[in-house]
Amino acid sequence: MKKSVIIVSFLVMLVLVSTCLSKSAKDIKSKEKVTITAANVAIDKKLDTICDNPKVAASSNPYDYTKDSQDYKDIVSSGDDALKYMLTKFDKSKENGLREYVMAIACSEMLKENIETKKWETGREWYENYIIANK
């Protein structure tokens, strides 16, 4: 009788512990998603600020938008997560405007590509070249 009470008690404790651990793991994953999402939102806001800069709005040169931009520097210094996010944005969109060009400049810098040998005229073209080169 005592053995069966001990065994049942042990099994109940085992179930409770595994349930608690499972909830903790889910909470951690949930917090990671929120952090990544918050970082992605921050990148999008910085891209908006760069592309909507009235000081260079008359320029047709995308490099003018990034030249003195702290937001651009922040994106580039964000590292791999920012790079992965922008590559995902390229993948999920067919847009090919100023925003994509700015993202291409940032990705290219993050990948330490030689700007002197660049072979692209648009952000979309940079992404397509990147995909071909990394197959």
pLDDT in tens, 82-135: 999 999 999 999 999 999 999 999 999 999 999 888 899 999 999 999 999 998
Per residue in 48-75, pLDDT (tens digit) is 999 999 999 999 999 999 999 999 999 9
Cβ(44)–Cβ(75) below 8 Å: no
71/18 Cα distance (integer angstroms):
44
Q: Using CA atoms in the order 78, 81, 85, 90, what is the torsion angle rounded to 10 degrees?
A: 80
pLDDT of 35 reads 56
If one compares 16 and 75, the residue with the highest pLDDT of the two is 75
66/61 Cα distance (integer angstroms):
10
**pLDDT category of residue 26 using cuts at 50, 70 and 90:** very low
Kindly tell me the burial class for residue 55, based on how many C-beta atoms sit within 10 Å of its own C-beta (0-12, 13-18, 19 or more). Answer: exposed
Range of lowest pLDDT (16-25, 30-39, 83-92): 16-25
Give rounded-to-5 percent helix, strand, coil for the chain.
75, 0, 25
DSSP state of 115: G
